[in-house]
Amino acid sequence: MSEKRILLIIGGGIAAFKALLLIRLLAKRGVKTSTVITKAGEEFVTPLSVGGLSGEKVYTDLFSLSDEQEMGHIELSRSADLVVVVPATADLMAKAARGLANDLASTTLLATDKRVLYAPAMNVRMWEHPATKRNIETLRENHALFVGPEEGDMACGEFGFGRMAEPETIVEAIEKILAGKTHLDDLALKPLKDKHILITAGPTREPIDPVRYLSNHSSGKQGYAIARACERLGAKVTLVSGPVAIAPPSGVDMVQVETAREMLTACESALPADVFISVAAVADWRPKTNTDKKIKKDKQELQPLALSENPDILRTIANGENRPGLVIGFAAETDNVLNHAKAKLAKKKCDWIVANDVSGDVMGGDNNTMIIVTKDGADEWSLMSKQDAAHKLALKIVETVA
Ligand code: CTP
């Protein structure tokens, strides 16, 4: 990418600060960045900070005589190899879709003869509004390219689509476009295309009789979020799930099961896969007694409840003939988290173990702290929402298998 030049347009949104990181990432790859900041963008980042990082002049004003004498807006819009809008606000995209040209950013977008990559960022309601959808369609018809937005927690406190793609993802998209891959499927949006990812999630339920069962507190939220994140990155996802109270993610092949043995059979039938992610909280034991008649209180069969050990699904798949190239286990621990996780990595022959401290409200809660344990060491991620953790894990999978 060296010797390439990007014209970066920074719009007015809370995600504007990520444009600074983007400039640094591009500079590391030898890419030069000219920058236009909108008036609203200047509320979030200053020309001084942008210029300091890019080492280049920053343009803000359509009617600046000195700027026009040095480099007119037409030349500015054409001197780059690619125009990148970060963050692409609803307002900027609406202007570009309509062909408005009442400030330097919109004039540049209208005057350029280069491809434009938008990294949208806005509140989920604004993103889902029919007006925004229409504008995006118009921009696509005009050969614009998009990276993101992602699903996640937003600065406004809501959850959904509208979070700007991470700077690393935007750089990946830029690299692909500059390499001549401008078809949408070639962008960083679908790096897991052609990969089959098999995921287990939720608890299993081991019947004692027709009305009672053994199970655990797993909500399925983390496994479902990982399935959604992998699907969004283009993977074919098979989600084998125990009973949970959340809706199946769209675009994912769902297999609903109850018991550990059913879960194992479903997983084995879904192979081959490129990646296996074992998120389910599989019940380790099942009652020996599973009668089709309700056990009466005065009967002694449940005292004590005799148990048989369930198959270890992760260990079976990791040691099987059809072993996926990347096998990821989870380790729910309440103490000595790292040591238990390392022991499970070896015992179950996985490539990674994602360790969770479940002594707090992780099980059933909305947030998670993950420690990614591999044979090379451990990487502890800070506390984040299960959606963000899922996305981060999916991007790590991309680095390994895509
Ligand atoms: N696992 C599995 N089948 C089982 C038990 C666990 O596939 N019968 C998987 C889980 O999905 C998880 C990993 O193994 O990816 C570790 O699960 P965990 O419950 O933390 O560990 P256990 O092996 O059950 O060991 P222990 O309960 O002693 O910690």
To test ligand 1's pocket by mutation, which of 282, 315, 336, 362 has the most ligand atoms within 8 angstroms of CB? Answer: 282
252 alpha carbon to ligand 1 midpoint, in Å? 24
Q: Tell me: the pLDDT tens digits for 294-305?
A: 888 776 656 788
Inter-CA distances, 241 with 30, 267, 388, Å: 46, 10, 21
**Shortest-distance Cα residue to atom 24 of ligand 1:** 284
398 alpha carbon to ligand 1 midpoint, in Å? 25
> If residue 73 lies in a helix (H) or strand (E), which one and from where to where?
helix 73-78
**Shortest-distance Cα residue to atom 28 of ligand 1:** 284
**Residue 350 annotated to the active site:** no
What is the model's pLDDT at position 213?
95
CB under 6 Å to ligand 1: residues?
200, 260, 278, 280, 282, 284, 310, 312-314, 329-332, 344
Average pLDDT over residues 326-340: 94
- Domain extent listing, the chain: 5-189, 196-401
The DSSP code for 184 is G
Q: Which of 203, 159, 158 is nearest to 358 (CA)?
A: 203
The verdict on whether omega for the bond into residue 207 sits within 30 degrees of 0, i.e. cis, is no
272 alpha carbon to ligand 1 midpoint, in Å? 22
Which atom of ligand 1 is closest in space to residue 200's alpha carbon? 11
Residues 131, 141: Cα–Cα separation, whole Å = 15
Q: Rounded to the nearest 10 degrees, how much is the dihedral formed by the CA atoms of 105, 111, 112, 117?
A: 40
Which atom of ligand 1 is closest in space to residue 353's alpha carbon? 15
Residues 47, 20: Cα–Cα separation, whole Å = 11
**Shortest-distance Cα residue to atom 27 of ligand 1:** 284
> If residue 160 lies in a helix (H) or strand (E), which one and from where to where?
strand 159-163
Question: Residue 164's CB: how many other CB atoms inside 10 A?
Answer: 26
Residues 83, 273: Cα–Cα separation, whole Å = 38
Q: Tell me: the pLDDT tens digits for 6-50?
A: 999 999 999 999 999 999 999 999 999 999 999 999 999 999 999
To test ligand 1's pocket by mutation, which of 312, 347, 352 has the most ligand atoms within 8 angstroms of CB? Answer: 312
197 alpha carbon to ligand 1 midpoint, in Å? 19
Task: State pTM to two decimals.
Answer: 0.65
> If residue 35 lies in a helix (H) or strand (E), which one and from where to where?
strand 32-37
Which atom of ligand 1 is closest in space to residue 354's alpha carbon? 15
Which atom of ligand 1 is closest in space to residue 279's alpha carbon? 11
Question: Residue 134's CB: how many other CB atoms inside 10 A?
Answer: 12
* Domain 196-401 = CATH 3.40.50.2000: no
The b/e string for 87-126 (b: 16+ C-beta within 10 A; e otherwise) is bbbbbbbbbbbeeebebbbbbbbeebeeebbbbbbbbbeb
Beta bridge partners of 35: 8, 58
What is the model's pLDDT at position 188?
45
What is the model's pLDDT at position 290?
75
Q: Tell me: the pLDDT tens digits for 72-131?
A: 777 888 889 999 999 999 999 999 999 999 999 999 999 999 999 999 999 988 988 889
> Which two structure tokens, joined as six digits, stand for 358?
């479940």
Q: Quick one: pLDDT band at residue 307, thresholds 50, 70, 90? A: very high
Q: Which residue has the tokens 């003939």?
A: 321
304 alpha carbon to ligand 1 midpoint, in Å? 24
* Intrachain domains 5-189 and 196-401 with the same fold: yes
Q: Quick one: pLDDT band at residue 67, thresholds 50, 70, 90? A: low
Q: Looking at 156, 230, 267, 350, which residue is catalytic?
A: 156
Q: Which of 279, 312, 281, 280 is nearest to 394 (CA)?
A: 279
What is the model's pLDDT at position 344?
96
231 pLDDT more than 80: yes
CB-count burial class (<10 Å; 0-12, 13-18, 19+) for 271: middle
281 alpha carbon to ligand 1 midpoint, in Å? 7
Q: What is the CATH number of domain 5-189?
A: 3.40.50.1950
Q: Tell me: the pLDDT tens digits for 349-369?
A: 999 999 988 877 777 777 888
* Upper half-sphere CA count for residue 40 (Cβ side, 13 Å): 18
Give, to the nearest 10 degrees, the angle between helix 90-98 and helix 104-111. 50
Which atom of ligand 1 is closest in space to residue 314's alpha carbon? 7
Which atom of ligand 1 is closest in space to residue 313's alpha carbon? 7
312 alpha carbon to ligand 1 midpoint, in Å? 7
